[in-house]
Chain A
Amino acid sequence: MSVATRMKKTFKTLFFYKSALAGSMILLLIIGFAVYTVVTYPYDLAIKHWRAGEKIWLDNPRYALPEWITLFTGGNPPRTIILTTTAESRNVKKIIVPISENMSYVRIDMSFNYEYDDYPSEINIFFNASFKELNPRLDIIWIKPDGENITLKSKVLNREDRYYISADLETKNLLAKKVQEKFGLNETPYILPERYLFSPLDKSVLDPNAVNVLKGVYTLRITGYLYENASNVDVKLVVYGKVYGWAGTDNLRRPISIAIMWGTPIALSFGVIAAVTIGLIQMIIAAISAWYGGFIDDLIQRITDINLILPFFPILLMISIFYKFNIWVLLVIVIALSIFGTGVKNYRALFLQLRESPYVEAALSYGASNLRIIFRYLVPKILPLIIPSIVLSVADFVFLEAALAVLGLGDPAAPTWGKVINDALEDGALYKGLYYWVLEPAALLVLTAIAFSLIGFTLEKIFNPRLREM
């Protein structure tokens, strides 16, 4: 049988098994996703985005759910609204009227239509003022669709200033006082600013679980005075939503999609390189050990014994704590620690049986060299028996990397699935109920593992005829 027909037959049997078909489909999807990531999103850029911290993601909501969550929950969750005076927009009006030689009056109106079913997660205003000595002074006014009109704060601006409405204690107290007066309460109630600012002023404001959003057009009005001729002020309003992109954001406002995307090629290459290299090297070592026998065999077997008596994962853990490798050095260490693993013993037993075969004796008798016998006569015969276990072990190595990352010992720079789970667990995502943060990388890990193991189990049946009958 020629190689081509044999391969054809193998593939035919492979697809005969539905599970292998399902596995291959999943694997193809994952590979496609990995290729798409590598092609469209350069690694340098991804690393830059991933490690930038909060700086470049300041306009993103924190802990935002993925947008497709509405498929399950329904409704219209708030999305992030950004209005700025630096860009032309119908909804932003900025006028500066000179009222004396140096002084001018400024008024900025920022309006937006709020039709969402929930409160925003945060509201921030960022200011950018230019002046020489005299700081501008501004009043910040919130105008609700029902006409209520609240002066939130009077502010003397610095050059780069910000006003975190949701976190500002003064504002919180001011709004709570307003509610207290309105309903004649004895105690000051606890009211989140974004709740007050987006609710009709009725009793529902007092219930921390009620969601009663006043829909309509809101306006943020900023009025004040600039005390210098060349003075100017630019404002950016960010009303943070509760959903973002297709993967959501984490505690640092980063889109989780970065790590989900780049985690794919990293996990695939880590798993596949580790599994294939270790499998092949173990096989070659076993072949040498079995073929040469004597001192070489003894030496290899003793090295394997020493390696097996050391606990693999604890040693790997210790090495990665001490040296804090990046992920590719880690890969080399994993390979180095594994090449004298159990596989060497198992494969050697197979080779020992094979060594006595007549065709090997024939090869010896016509003077084939040792290397020729090992690589042309022994290895090809054993290879099919080893391929299933190589495929099956890919998932182990993918999870090995994830396990190290979950312990906080992975490559700190690399955006991997395990790192996302580690971030989530460290931030207490399971306690806070932020399941999406764990479940997204987890789902991909599961898919990858299942794909390889479905294919691996089928290959095992194909290449081990004894198993096929069973």
Chain B
Amino acid sequence: MRVPPYIKYLGKRFIMIGITLIIAVYLTILIANMGGYVDEIIKSDLLFTISTAIRQNPAYKGLPEEQIQKLINATYYNELKRLGFDKPFIYRSFEYLRRALTLDLGRSLYITSNTGSRFVRTIILERLPVTVLLFTTTNVLLFFIGLFGGLYLSRKYGATIDKIAVSLAPLSSIPGWFYGVFLIIIFASYLHLLPYGGIVDAPPPEDPLSYALSVLKHMILPVTSWLIAYSAIGIYVRRTFFLMFSSEDYVEVAKAKGLPEKLIERRYILRPTLPPIITDFSLTLIASWMGAIVTETIFNWSGIGLLFYDAAMRFDAPVVIGLVVIYAYLLAITIIILDIIYVIVDPRIRLGAM
């Protein structure tokens, strides 16, 4: 039986992406543990805790020094064994890899969730909605602003509004968090209209409606800062993109045939530009999952970005690894889904031309 070329193609892609994912996750494990150096920190920390606990325990006061030392060592080794630290790092790194890949994220070293849980999964799930609320909203908004703004301008090519929009593109060389600082100065510090940061008023309002309004109020500044930063470049890139596609020969032919503008736009311009637009959109969504570390810090928005920052600052390797692994997984899955979509959309791949 002959295997259709697209199955071969997809199969090859799956394997490649799988290998890529494994190597990327393993690299993260190495970095997050500083190549085993974090172990040394944890071990010395543990030894210190155990020896102080035993030396300060009145029950062991009378024991000779030799005995106490023995006791400390025994407890220390037991504890090491319990934590799985009795084996060398390189061995454990593969154990970490196995657990990470099976999404068994384990327990954090220091960070706890608001409910007091040490499970990395609980910690991440608690922060995720907060980040999704802010950054997925913002990115979806930005995507549609870019899409429709670009489409509109490509129709108005050469008009004053087009020229203005193009000349605004350099605004986007400044990142969102930086506009955030300015917005805080103007609206929070100077005018006292909006909050400096945070997610909700303190204390949080009781009834759901005013709670939601309070959250919305806190979202205004971060969302606006990103809109200012990235709208102009989004519109510019899409406009150029549509202009390039609308100067293709087959569009000219369609115009010559006298097809209506709307039809040309939908069938001859939007259709072939769809795959790259879908790719862009899905990758932006995935990227928004990681939040934005600096923006979240500036606005004290305790989402995934701040969690990552805290975890990295406190050498909490399981949380760091958990976040990167989930991100890598989502990205890999998205790429695979995109590949499948391309097979459906693009006849060249289906027929094995690529």
- Interface residues of A, Cβ cutoff 8 Å to B: 19, 302, 305-306, 309-311, 313-315, 317-319, 321-322, 392, 395-396, 399, 402-403, 406-407, 421, 425, 430-431, 433, 435, 438-439, 442, 445-446, 449-450, 452-454, 456-457, 466-467, 470
Cα(A31)–Cα(B298), bound, Å? 30
* Known A392-B173, A457-B170; contact A435-B17, beta-carbon cutoff 8 A: no
CB-based nearest B residue for A398: B173
Chain B residues whose CB sits within 8 angstroms of the CB of A450 once the complex forms: 170, 173-174
Cα(A421)–Cα(B170), bound, Å? 22
The distance from the CB of A321 to the nearest CB of chain B, in whole angstroms, is 5
Cα(A399)–Cα(B290), bound, Å? 19
Chain B residues whose CB sits within 8 angstroms of the CB of A433 once the complex forms: 189-190
- B185, B315, B327, B331: which contacts A439 (Cβ < 8 A)? B185
- Which residues of chain B from 296 to 310 have any CB-CB distance to chain A below 8 Å in the complex? 297-298, 308-309
Known: A396-B175, A453-B169. 18 other contacts (CB 8 A): A19-B170, A306-B27, A309-B20, A314-B323, A318-B320, A322-B31, A399-B175, A406-B294, A407-B294, A430-B188, A435-B189, A435-B190, A438-B185, A442-B178, A450-B170, A453-B172, A454-B170, A470-B243
CB-based nearest B residue for A402: B178
B189 & A403 in contact (Cβ 8 Å cutoff): no
A399 & B174 in contact (Cβ 8 Å cutoff): yes
Chain A residues whose CB sits within 8 angstroms of the CB of B181 once the complex forms: 421, 425, 430, 438, 442
B170 & A313 in contact (Cβ 8 Å cutoff): no
B175 & A318 in contact (Cβ 8 Å cutoff): no
B240 within 8 A of A: yes
- A19, A302, A403, A449: which contacts B19 (Cβ < 8 A)? A302
Contact mask for chain B residues 145-159; partner A; CB cutoff 8 A; 1 contact, 0 none: 000000000000100
Chain A residues whose CB sits within 8 angstroms of the CB of B170 once the complex forms: 19, 449-450, 453-454, 457
B308 & A317 in contact (Cβ 8 Å cutoff): yes
The distance from the CB of B339 to the nearest CB of chain A, in whole angstroms, is 13
18 A-B pairs in the complex with CB atoms less than 8 angstroms apart: A309-B331, A310-B28, A311-B290, A311-B324, A314-B312, A314-B323, A407-B309, A430-B185, A431-B196, A433-B190, A438-B185, A442-B181, A446-B178, A450-B173, A450-B174, A452-B173, A454-B170, A470-B243
A407 & B331 in contact (Cβ 8 Å cutoff): no
A310 & B196 in contact (Cβ 8 Å cutoff): no
* Known A318-B31, A449-B174; contact A313-B20, beta-carbon cutoff 8 A: no
Cα(A136)–Cα(B90), bound, Å? 70
B167 within 8 A of A: yes
B16 within 8 A of A: yes
Kindly name the residue among A305, A392, A435, A456 whose own CB sees the greatest number of chain B CB atoms within 10 A. A305
Interface residues of B: mostly helix, strand, loop or mixed?
Answer: helix
Cα(A452)–Cα(B173), bound, Å? 9
* Known A403-B294, A435-B189, A453-B173; contact A309-B21, beta-carbon cutoff 8 A: yes
B244 within 8 A of A: yes
Chain A residues whose CB sits within 8 angstroms of the CB of B294 once the complex forms: 403, 406-407
- Interface residues of B, Cβ cutoff 8 Å to A: 16-17, 19-21, 23-24, 27-28, 31-32, 34, 37, 157, 167, 169-170, 172-175, 177-178, 181-182, 184-185, 188-190, 196, 240, 243-244, 287, 290, 293-294, 297-298, 308-309, 312-313, 315, 320, 323-324, 327-328, 331-332
Chain B residues whose CB sits within 8 angstroms of the CB of A317 once the complex forms: 293, 308-309, 312
Chain A residues whose CB sits within 8 angstroms of the CB of B188 once the complex forms: 430
The distance from the CB of B169 to the nearest CB of chain A, in whole angstroms, is 6
B309 & A310 in contact (Cβ 8 Å cutoff): no
Cα(A438)–Cα(B31), bound, Å? 34
B174 & A318 in contact (Cβ 8 Å cutoff): no
Chain B residues whose CB sits within 8 angstroms of the CB of A457 once the complex forms: 169-170
B169 & A305 in contact (Cβ 8 Å cutoff): no
B297 & A309 in contact (Cβ 8 Å cutoff): no
The distance from the CB of B340 to the nearest CB of chain A, in whole angstroms, is 17
Closest 9 pairs between A and B when the two form their complex, measured CB to CB = A453-B173, A453-B170, A395-B173, A449-B173, A309-B24, A305-B20, A318-B312, A403-B294, A470-B243
* Known A306-B23, A314-B290, A453-B170; contact A430-B184, beta-carbon cutoff 8 A: yes
* Known A314-B308, A438-B181, A457-B170; contact A309-B328, beta-carbon cutoff 8 A: yes
Chain A residues whose CB sits within 8 angstroms of the CB of B20 once the complex forms: 302, 305-306, 309
The distance from the CB of A358 to the nearest CB of chain B, in whole angstroms, is 23
A446 & B174 in contact (Cβ 8 Å cutoff): yes
A407 & B293 in contact (Cβ 8 Å cutoff): yes
Cα(A445)–Cα(B178), bound, Å? 10
Kindly name the residue among B19, B169, B172 whose own CB sees the greatest number of chain A CB atoms within 10 A. B169
Chain B residues whose CB sits within 8 angstroms of the CB of A425 once the complex forms: 181, 298
A311 & B327 in contact (Cβ 8 Å cutoff): yes
A314 & B324 in contact (Cβ 8 Å cutoff): yes
A310 & B324 in contact (Cβ 8 Å cutoff): yes
Chain A residues whose CB sits within 8 angstroms of the CB of B34 once the complex forms: 322
- B157, B173, B174, B189: which contacts A430 (Cβ < 8 A)? B189
B293 & A313 in contact (Cβ 8 Å cutoff): yes
A305 & B16 in contact (Cβ 8 Å cutoff): yes
Cα(A403)–Cα(B177), bound, Å? 9
* Known A318-B320, A399-B175; contact A431-B189, beta-carbon cutoff 8 A: yes
Cα(A173)–Cα(B237), bound, Å? 66
Cα(A403)–Cα(B189), bound, Å? 21
* Known A317-B309, A395-B174; contact A467-B185, beta-carbon cutoff 8 A: no
Chain B residues whose CB sits within 8 angstroms of the CB of A470 once the complex forms: 157, 240, 243-244
Cα(A402)–Cα(B181), bound, Å? 13
The distance from the CB of A311 to the nearest CB of chain B, in whole angstroms, is 5
Chain B residues whose CB sits within 8 angstroms of the CB of A445 once the complex forms: 174, 178
A321 & B196 in contact (Cβ 8 Å cutoff): no
Chain A residues whose CB sits within 8 angstroms of the CB of B189 once the complex forms: 430-431, 433, 435
Cα(A310)–Cα(B309), bound, Å? 16
CB-based nearest A residue for B295: A403
CB-based nearest B residue for A321: B312
Cα(A443)–Cα(B326), bound, Å? 38
A442 & B196 in contact (Cβ 8 Å cutoff): no
Cα(A19)–Cα(B16), bound, Å? 45
- A305, A430, A456: which contacts B17 (Cβ < 8 A)? A305
CB-based nearest B residue for A22: B170
Cα(A391)–Cα(B243), bound, Å? 24
Chain A residues whose CB sits within 8 angstroms of the CB of B240 once the complex forms: 467, 470
A407 & B320 in contact (Cβ 8 Å cutoff): no
Chain A residues whose CB sits within 8 angstroms of the CB of B178 once the complex forms: 399, 402, 442, 445-446
Cα(A466)–Cα(B173), bound, Å? 23
Cα(A406)–Cα(B315), bound, Å? 20
Kindly name the residue among A305, A314, A321, A403 whose own CB sees the greatest number of chain B CB atoms within 10 A. A314
CB-based nearest B residue for A406: B294
Cα(A392)–Cα(B171), bound, Å? 12
Kindly name the residue among B189, B243, B328 whose own CB sees the greatest number of chain A CB atoms within 10 A. B189
Cα(A181)–Cα(B269), bound, Å? 86
A310 & B173 in contact (Cβ 8 Å cutoff): no
Chain B residues whose CB sits within 8 angstroms of the CB of A442 once the complex forms: 178, 181-182
The distance from the CB of A147 to the nearest CB of chain B, in whole angstroms, is 42
Cα(A144)–Cα(B228), bound, Å? 54
A435 & B185 in contact (Cβ 8 Å cutoff): yes
CB-based nearest B residue for A310: B24
